[in-house]
């Protein structure tokens, strides 16, 4: 077996023909083509998390099926591309399908913009490339003059650099071109070759996700915002191409989420959705454990299997154990780089760094302490039970979004996965964070949010410090409770030292040259929890913590008193008095879950 090198991996290559032409490593997924092409589905919607290889999978499908438009009988390109892969051994399948269809394929993954005008500008550029590919139809004797004229008009609109899309008339004109584009081309291709087209729409929901993220609040229910406008365009294009199109042979659509309502897919005959809970095609997109093991063997890196599985394994797709290709390929290519040692190169987070993770930060700001605890449980490696949400629109994740909606979206996008084999008909799901790569993403967000790098958190820490030195126990209690509601620990939150670490972390933000903090140091006849000293006015605050599982607040008060008694018995103030601090405040703080009680006495 030939050993692979760093340059053999197709990191960032999503075009199948380019991948093969450059001799890059391809994990053979062509064996699934028989099932995919000969199912009874007129349209298949394949849903997978981001960076799982959806675009490359659709490119492979396109290259296998697409005929040579100049010479429809010539299949030499497919023979060159596929002769080394599994599907080529199935001569009957190749005879029926390889190079036999017109294919119209577009990926919406780059349709983006801060507003609808900018997004439609990128859509215009995309369609310009699509129409240019089929411009040879303008020279055909088989096409009517009306069709040719219409195609020229569409090409002119999409290729015009001077078209002002801020003008309503121009935007309406482009919108109609987009909506009709796929069906129009399939009609012309049918007239040219007498064959129905394969239609592929990759990452259909990206424009909707981008629009939702950038939509502004409506001023009236009748107002169409960015999302409403983009939904109308995407729905119109898919409806025309996939629902009522007699010139389509089969349709394939990929994305992360299925938008169930508002007729995005409603009414399509023989339409099937294959998501992360469905067994069919579960191994088609993504790497199986067996495929990953074989890759490691080809690299001479079998000894790194445990690291790779810990960091990148763990996705449960329809009951199949899957790994994210983007992460695995990045790790292997970098580990094999000349400057690195493959035996010791440490895994890193590649998937989580490939796009923004704003949804995590928003969830961490959730005002519900129960939801914060559920997220904490997931970060600690536990599972949580959720009720799956059916999305009637692309979900807008806000501070007050309920946990089940948030978790369902994160399940589809790859931040969470099923903890057990999913039951397609079940609305309940047990979820977990799939692997260390994704968990590290949550931890990094938590570390940033709950540090001085977050101005809001730093301000709260300063307020807590001031309240402690002011002797304002009720305010201290309120501030700690407010901070605990949102706090997510990157360490085990069930450990006895959790609250000690929380308070030490918070108050360390609020120290300065004059205000110092000590933790777990010998003082008097024992070791105190925390002491804050203020050299400006020679005041000090001694903090002793207790933790209880008892839900009765009256018991918390007793623990506060016990903590204060411990301060006095062990003379934690002895060293402070010796050093000249003449105002000493003693705090007993009892914690339960995301709440606390505070008592204070002053010497």
d(CA 136, CA 156): 15
pLDDT of residue 221: 58
pLDDT of residue 102: 98
Q: Say whether pLDDT at 113 is over 90.
A: yes
Domain with CATH 1.10.10 in the chain: 353-448
- Average pLDDT, integer, range 392-397: 70
pLDDT of residue 262: 53
d(CA 28, CA 81): 12
pLDDT of residue 362: 72
Higher-confidence position of 2 and 240: 240
Those residues with Cβ within 8 angstroms of residue 40's Cβ, 6 or more apart along the chain or in another chain: 270
Q: Where are the alpha helices (DSSP H) in 194-268?
A: 206-214, 226-238
pLDDT of residue 214: 85
Higher-confidence position of 392 and 34: 34
- Percent of residues, the chain, with pLDDT higher than 90: 76
Give 201-249 pLDDT, tens digit per residue. 999 999 998 998 888 765 555 557 899 999 999 999 999 999 889 999 9
Q: Are 555 and 548 in contact (CB under 8 A)?
A: yes
Q: Say whether pLDDT at 95 is over 80.
A: yes
- Percent of residues, the chain, with pLDDT higher than 70: 94
- Average pLDDT, integer, range 489-517: 82
pLDDT of residue 217: 61
At residue 581 the predicted structure's pLDDT band, cuts being 50, 70 and 90, is very high
Query: Among candidates 497, 518, 491, which has minimal Cα distance to 507?
Result: 518
pLDDT of residue 496: 55
Q: Are 363 and 406 in contact (CB under 8 A)?
A: yes
pLDDT of residue 491: 61
pTM of the entire structure? 0.87
| Residue in the structure block whose two tokens are 């008339």 | 169
d(CA 498, CA 2): 51
Give 465-486 pLDDT, tens digit per residue. 999 999 999 999 999 999 998 8
Paired residues of 105 in beta bridges = 200
Give 280-317 pLDDT, tens digit per residue. 999 999 999 999 999 999 999 999 999 999 999 999 99
- Average pLDDT, integer, range 119-140: 97
At residue 490 the predicted structure's pLDDT band, cuts being 50, 70 and 90, is low
Work out the mean pLDDT of the chain and round it to a whole number: 91
Q: Does domain 353-448 have CATH number 1.10.357?
A: no
């Amino acid at each position: 077996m030939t050993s692979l090198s760093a340059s053999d991996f197709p990191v960032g290559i999503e075009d199948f023909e380019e991948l093969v032409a450059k001799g890059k490593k391809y994990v053979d997924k062509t064996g699934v083509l028989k099932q995919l092409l000969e199912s009874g589905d007129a349209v298949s919607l394949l849903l997978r998390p981001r960076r799982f290889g959806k675009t490359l999978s659709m490119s492979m499908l396109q290259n296998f099926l697409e005929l040579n438009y100049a010479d429809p009988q010539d299949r030499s390109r497919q023979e060159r591309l596929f002769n080394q892969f599994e599907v080529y051994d199935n001569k009957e399948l190749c005879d029926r399908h390889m190079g036999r269809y017109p294919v119209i394929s577009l990926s919406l993954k780059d349709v983006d913009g801060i507003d609808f005008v900018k997004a439609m500008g990128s859509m215009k550029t995309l369609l310009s490339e699509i129409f240019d590919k089929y411009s040879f139809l303008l020279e055909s004797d088989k096409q009517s003059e009306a069709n040719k004229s219409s195609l020229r008009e569409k090409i002119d609109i999409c290729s015009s650099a001077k078209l002002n899309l801020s003008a309503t008339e121009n935007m309406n004109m482009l919108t109609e071109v987009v909506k009709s584009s796929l069906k129009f081309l399939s009609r012309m291709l049918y007239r040219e070759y007498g064959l129905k087209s394969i239609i592929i729409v990759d990452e259909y929901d990206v424009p909707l996700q981008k629009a939702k993220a950038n939509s502004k609040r409506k001023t009236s229910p009748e107002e169409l915002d960015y999302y409403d406008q983009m939904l109308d365009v995407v729905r119109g294009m898919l409806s025309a191409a996939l629902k009522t199109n007699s010139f389509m042979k089969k349709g394939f659509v990929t994305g992360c989420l299925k938008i169930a309502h508002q007729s995005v897919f409603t009414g399509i005959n023989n339409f099937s959705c294959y998501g992360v809970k469905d067994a069919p095609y579960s191994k088609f997109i993504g790497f199986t454990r067996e495929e990953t093991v074989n890759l490691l063997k080809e690299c001479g890196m079998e000894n790194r299997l445990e690291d790779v599985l810990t960091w990148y394994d763990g996705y449960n797709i329809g009951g199949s154990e899957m790994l994210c290709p983007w992460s695995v390929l990045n790790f292997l290519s970098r580990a094999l780089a000349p400057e690195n040692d493959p035996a010791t190169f440490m895994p890193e987070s590649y998937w989580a760094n490939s796009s923004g993770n704003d949804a995590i930060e928003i969830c961490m700001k959730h005002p519900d302490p129960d939801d914060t605890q559920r997220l904490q449980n997931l970060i600690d490696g536990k599972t949580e039970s959720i009720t799956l949400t059916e999305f009637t629109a692309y979900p807008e994740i806000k501070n007050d979004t309920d946990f089940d909606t948030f978790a369902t979206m994160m399940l589809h996008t790859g931040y969470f996965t099923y903890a057990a084999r999913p039951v397609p008909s079940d609305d309940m799901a047990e979820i977990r964070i799939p692997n260390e790569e994704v968990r590290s993403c949550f931890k990094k967000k938590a570390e940033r949010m709950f540090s001085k790098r977050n101005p809001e958190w730093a301000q709260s820490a300063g307020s807590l410090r001031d309240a402690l030195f002011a002797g304002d126990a009720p305010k201290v209690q309120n501030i700690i409770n407010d901070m605990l509601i949102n706090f997510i620990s990157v360490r085990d939150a069930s450990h006895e030292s959790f609250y000690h670490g929380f308070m030490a972390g918070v108050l360390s933000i609020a120290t300065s040259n004059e205000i110092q903090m000590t933790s777990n140091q010998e003082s008097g006849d024992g070791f105190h929890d925390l002491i804050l000293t203020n050299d400006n006015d020679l005041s000090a605050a001694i903090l002793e913590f207790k933790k209880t599982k008892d839900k009765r607040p009256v018991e918390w008060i007793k623990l506060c008193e016990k903590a204060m008694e411990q301060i006095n018995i062990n003379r934690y103030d002895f060293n402070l008095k010796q050093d000249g601090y003449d105002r000493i405040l003693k705090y007993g703080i009892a914690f339960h879950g995301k709440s606390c009680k505070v008592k204070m006495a002053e010497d």
